[in-house]
Structures are given as structure tokens and as C-alpha cells.
Copies of this chain bind each other. A is one copy, B any other.
């Protein structure tokens, strides 16, 4: 009774899959599928005599759906609900998730601000210059700040505390001349309206 599980064929019937095959094709781990089975989200529709799971084409499709919803960041509980009420999938769940994402992004943006403030303070602090220009720019870029965001940041900083801004620029190893240029450019830059988000 081996042929069933191994190659995925039962004569000319629909293909079947072992647990690890399915895991690989969806970029999941075997344990994840075991977990889905345990919580009843996705059970293999058959077993071999030895107890090996056999996933059918239908199971595969279901898993595809699950992955789709998971990629949207939905919890397994929500995924279960969505799959349960197939006819008219619950808009409210998706909406709720969308709202949550918005909140999370705002939250992360705030964290970015806190961190850049910390790093700014450290860079212009009494310590040895731990940070130089390239590192600084790389960090902010890695944080997802684009040109515009950096410009806004410079403008905001310049408006709030020009002296500290200058000090920071010098700390980053930028020569006097260039630092003054940046300051001037920041003063002319797009006003950092306080309601921007």
C-alpha cells in the first residue's frame, strides 16, 4: 500500500500529497501543517494504513486559501471563520484587519521617530562620535525613510533647534560649509505640517 503516498498517484486519479510535499510547495514547515491538523484547520482527508497523512487536491486548495488569508496577516481563528462561511465571506473580518494594520503602521512610525530621536541625541551627545554620515543615512534608509521623509526630518529638526541640527551634522563628520548648506536647504524645504502622517 505504498504507491498511494509516495508518488502521489492512485492509478489515473487526482494527485495526492504527503505532508512534507505540501509543506514545501507552500513554503511552510511540516510542523505547521501538523499544527493545522491538530487544531482542525486543515486535516488530511485520508491516511495510509501506517497512519501517514494523505492530502487530496481539495485539501491542497484549502491550504492555498489558508495561505492567502495568512499572508494578509489574519489569525488562524479568523481564517477558520472565513473558510467556514464560504458563500458570503465576512467582510467585517477583513475590515477589522485592515483597520488593525493601519494602527500598527502608525505605531511603527512612532517607534521610528522615537528611535531616530534617541540616535540623534546619541550622535550629538558627549560621547565619541559613534555614528558617521554614511552609517546614519544607511540606518534611516533601512528604516524605510525615503528622500522625502529625510527632507521632512531635516526641516523639522532645523525649525525646532537649528543649533542642535548643526551640531549633529558636524558630529556626523560633515564639514562646516556643507552643514550650513544643508541647514539653508532645510529651512526652505517643505514645511513639516504638524498634521502630516
Which positions in A face B, CB cutoff 8 Å? 68, 71-73, 88-89, 91, 94-95, 97-99, 101-106, 108-112, 114-116, 118-119, 122, 127, 130-131, 135, 139-140, 142-146, 197
Contacts and interface: CB of A to CB of B under 8 A. Distances in A.
Q: Is the interface of A mostly helix, strand, loop or mixed?
A: helix
Nearest to A130: B91
Contacts of A135: 95
This chain: copies in complex: 2
25 contacts: A72-B118, A73-B111, A88-B130, A91-B122, A94-B115, A94-B118, A95-B135, A97-B111, A97-B115, A98-B112, A98-B115, A98-B116, A98-B119, A98-B139, A98-B140, A98-B143, A99-B139, A99-B142, A101-B111, A101-B143, A101-B144, A102-B112, A102-B142, A104-B104, A106-B144
